[in-house]
Structure 1
Amino acid sequence: MRKIAYVFAALAATGAGTYFVVYLYRWQWQRAMICGVLLLVVEVLLFGLVTLGRLNRIEERLRDTDRRQRELDARQEDVLTRLREPTAAREETRFRWLDDPADRAYVFVPVLMVAGVLLSALAWVVQKVASATAGPAERRLAGRLAVLAAPDPAAPGDLEDLPPLGGSRGRAARLTAVATVSAALLAALVVGLADLTQTRREKANESAATSVLVQLDLRNTNMSADRGALAAQQIWESCRHSTSVPLRHAALSDLGDGMFAGVVRPALTDHDLMRLRGCLEDAILERAHLTVAAVSDVEPADGSR
């Protein structure tokens, strides 16, 4: 499911970025801003997905670390128990002569009993001192030997969880290759976008004027023709300032049936025509939208140059 989300977000980001560059090239700023906002939303979504995946992996690693620590503690306790087994066996077989039948007679029984009591007391003191001093050493020894203990058969094998040899190097190489390709693509995109949107000094158009024919599209069918013409006039006037050369004597004439014609003087260059077309087709006012239907240059009359 997460891979599908990654693929969908990557496709959405690619589409938004592509149209963002296209609209910037066409000088359609409102559409470019919408695509830019969509691109930012998709990037935030991708960042959230990557962060969530990283947090899940960290949580899984913490759980795996806790499991391994519990297994290591269990092995250490097992080794410590095995180390203490000979001592417990010796404690169980101490003073075996006391288990002999009571009908046997001994010559120095009272002396032996007193000596036994004294020796037992001395042995008890020695045992306590030895237990107090040997406990940390046994635990350290058990900790060192825990790595050599056999794993629990019921637990999953540790060898299966280990990454393959050379995996880290291969992953580092892949990350380096992806980073290099991404940096190259980003640099090419920035250079190409700067080249496409750069304003250059163009050769002047020798024609007398440029005729622009536009079609008015109304999204509100109840709008009257006069209000539609007024909306078209407002859009045209707002886009007259989008060109590098001020447009003088550029009135918009109503031809009927939603068609309008504007004659622009001086004649527009290719770059100015692109900027004017982008502004007209990008602007929306009162649910009115203009579409450039045709553009033509008006040749000057003979002898007017």
Structure 2
Amino acid sequence: MRKIAYVFGALAAAGAGTYLVVYLYRWQWQRAMICGVLLLVVEVMLLGLVTLGRLNRIEERLRDTDRRQRELDARQEDVLTRLREPAVTREETRFRWLDDSADRAYVFVPVLMVAGVVLSGLAWVVQKVASATARPAERRLAGRLAVLAAPAPAAPGDLDDLPELGAGASRGRTARVTTVAVFSVALLAALVVGLADLTQTRAGEANEHEATSVLVQIDLREPDVSSDGKALAAHQIWESCRHSTAAPLRNASLGDLGNGMYAGVVRPALTDHDVMRLRGCLEDATLDRAHLTVVGVSDVESGDDSR
């Protein structure tokens, strides 16, 4: 379940980050802020999942440690209980013949002593025979084990030529980490520079045409809104976006074409960068229950907008 949450969070973060860059490129700031907030929420969620997983593992380890400690305490108590058993219980395991009456005569102890002397003599004889016959076998065994013996200690100067253990693996790991870090920094720098170049305010090449015509369509969530209400909403969105371009839109009128269609004429003609900024602002308007869609943008010559 946790892996599914990780995968879902990673996909959501990737999608939010992608659309964040797309909306920044389109100059749609409201949508970009929403994607940024969503990306932040997903990152916090992933951080919480990772932290929760670590805490669960720590809790499991503590539980295992407590269980082992309880088992050890139980074994210690068992051993201590056995050590503290009454002496009467341990006396029950002694030889029974010691409990018999002293009137009876036994020969167990003398026989045992004589048997010990005899066995000691036999052991001495076996030892002497074995020491006399085991010398060639020991030499052969030493010859077989010579290949397993450690080499003689080297001089202090001979150790300088030996390679360090793990030096090659450590250098390779360091090189890989350095390569990945440099590539990540370069990719991040390229993304930041490219995004800054796409979203910065700058004056583009001048448009040689007389004016720019923008055709928009307004959609309202309430279907029973009158034409005057639609016109008011369209003019509010249009006026709020007049400051979005690099060149101020002083001569920018908006005319009603009917059926929710409106045409705006901007003088002087807009550059490509200003057109992108104006389109992004119009389609990203924050007016409640109203959405403006840019149907088309075209440059017009002098006198074409009067028809």
TM-score (norm 2): 0.63
Aligned equivalent of 2:282, options 269, 280, 283? 280
**What's 2:259 paired with?**
257
Deviation of 1:103 after TM superposition, in Å, equals 5.8
Note the residue ranges of structure 2 that are not aligned, 5 or more in a row.
Answer: 105-172
For residues 201-244 of structure 1, what are the alpha-carbon distances to aligned partners after superposition, in whole Å with 9 as ceiling and x for unaligned? 32222221111111121221110001101110111011001111
Change (3 A) 1:60 1:246: same
Match of 1:271, SS state, is helix
**What's 1:163 paired with?**
none
How many equivalent pairs are there?
234
Letter in 1 for 2:27: W
**What's 2:193 paired with?**
191
Change (3 A) 1:172 1:90: farther
Does 1:227 find its partner at 2:229? yes
Deviation of 1:300 after TM superposition, in Å, equals 5.0
**What's 1:52 paired with?**
52
**What's 2:16 paired with?**
16
Distance 1:276 1:6 in 2: 39
Letter in 1 for 2:25: Y
Distance 1:218 1:185 in 2: 42
Deviation of 1:25 after TM superposition, in Å, equals 0.9
Change (3 A) 1:226 1:93: closer
Distance 1:81 1:188 in 2: 74
Deviation of 1:299 after TM superposition, in Å, equals 3.1
Checking the alignment, whether the CA contact within 8 Å between 1:248 and 1:266 is kept in structure 2 is no
Letter in 2 for 1:51: T
**What's 2:119 paired with?**
none
Distance 1:194 1:7 in 2: 30
Deviation of 1:88 after TM superposition, in Å, equals 11
Distance 1:172 1:55 in 2: 30
Deviation of 1:180 after TM superposition, in Å, equals 7.4
For residues 266-292 of structure 1, what are the alpha-carbon distances to aligned partners after superposition, in whole Å with 9 as ceiling and x for unaligned? 111111111110110111424222111
For residues 88-107 of structure 1, what are the alpha-carbon distances to aligned partners after superposition, in whole Å with 9 as ceiling and x for unaligned? 9999999x9x9573669xxx
Match of 1:285, SS state, is coil
Note the residue ranges of structure 1 that are not aligned, 5 or more in a row.
Answer: 105-170
Distance 2:234 2:223 in 1: 15
Distance 1:11 1:183 in 2: 22
Which stretch shifts more, 20-29 or 181-190? 181-190
Letter in 2 for 1:192: G
Change (3 A) 1:5 1:175: farther
Letter in 2 for 1:36: G
TM-score (norm 1): 0.64
Checking the alignment, whether the CA contact within 8 Å between 1:209 and 1:264 is kept in structure 2 is yes
Match of 2:252, SS state, is coil
Does 1:242 find its partner at 2:241? no
**Aligned-residue RMSD, C-alpha:** 4.1
Distance 2:175 2:83 in 1: 48
Distance 2:248 2:224 in 1: 35
**What's 1:125 paired with?**
none
For residues 44-89 of structure 1, what are the alpha-carbon distances to aligned partners after superposition, in whole Å with 9 as ceiling and x for unaligned? 211121111111111111122233444555677788899999x999
Which stretch shifts more, 38-47 or 227-236? 38-47
Deviation of 1:265 after TM superposition, in Å, equals 1.1
**What's 2:66 paired with?**
66
